[in-house]
Amino acid sequence: MTGVSKSRVAVYPPAPRRNPLPDGGKQQTFAGLVRWLPLAREAAPGPFPNEGGHTPDFDLVPTLCKLLSMTHRNGPANEIVITNSDNLEMEVSSGPMTRLAGVSELLTGSTGIHMAIATIPPGRCSTAHYHVNCESAIYVLSGSGTFLSGEELDKEEPISTGDFIFVPPDANHQPVNTSETDDLVIIVARNAPVEIVVELEGAGRRDC
């Protein structure tokens, strides 16, 4: 990733849900503990405190994710689950971009696919980042904007309603809403229940 500084690694399990869980939200407690993690040692040797001033070990990520997955109360393996629009799972935001999941390990027990709807307000963008552990597919549900990609985030391509986007692992990207009046709404799917995201410091659009 020449010329791009890696800021930090974040594990993105769900943020607290809009509707309380039957156990009072205890299933979310562990998710909150693993939100921020230090950089992988090969990217930035040495300690990298998280927001609470602690320095967790990046090697713990697989264990943390495994324990997190154990909090879901699994139903029958062949059970179809419909998630209503008023019971979506609020996820960690990426800059001004907000995300609500409808298919997730917590909501449906899915382990090989995750699907959410993301909204970017007019004139705003997500953070510049890439995903370490998964590939993603994006469908533009409404609105228009610009999709930045490339090692230096210097490749700009227009996107609009009806477009599909494939994002492989380790690919720098940043969606930008170029409209001054309309939201950019996208459907995002990935092949992992929890994503590990590296945010890129000083890369891409910084004025949105």
Can you give the CATH number for the domain in which 139 is found? 2.60.120.10
**pLDDT score for 75:** 54
Domain annotation covers residue 104? yes
Which residue has tokens 């998964």? 134
Indicate whether 54 belongs to any domain: yes
Q: Provide the domain count of the chain.
A: 1
Looking at residue 141, its pLDDT comes to: 98
- Residue pair 177/141 in contact by the 8 Å Cβ criterion: no
- Kindly report the pTM of this predicted structure: 0.68
| Assigned domain for 208 exists | no
In a domain, 184, yes or no: yes
H/E stretch holding 106: helix 105-108
**What domain range includes position 195?**
5-201
The model's pLDDT over 133-178, given as tens digits with 9 standing for 90+, comes to 999 999 999 999 999 999 999 999 999 999 999 999 999 999 999 9
Strand order in the sheet with 184-190: 89-90, 98-103, 114-120, 184-190, 136-142, 164-167
Q: Residue 131: is its pLDDT beyond 50?
A: yes
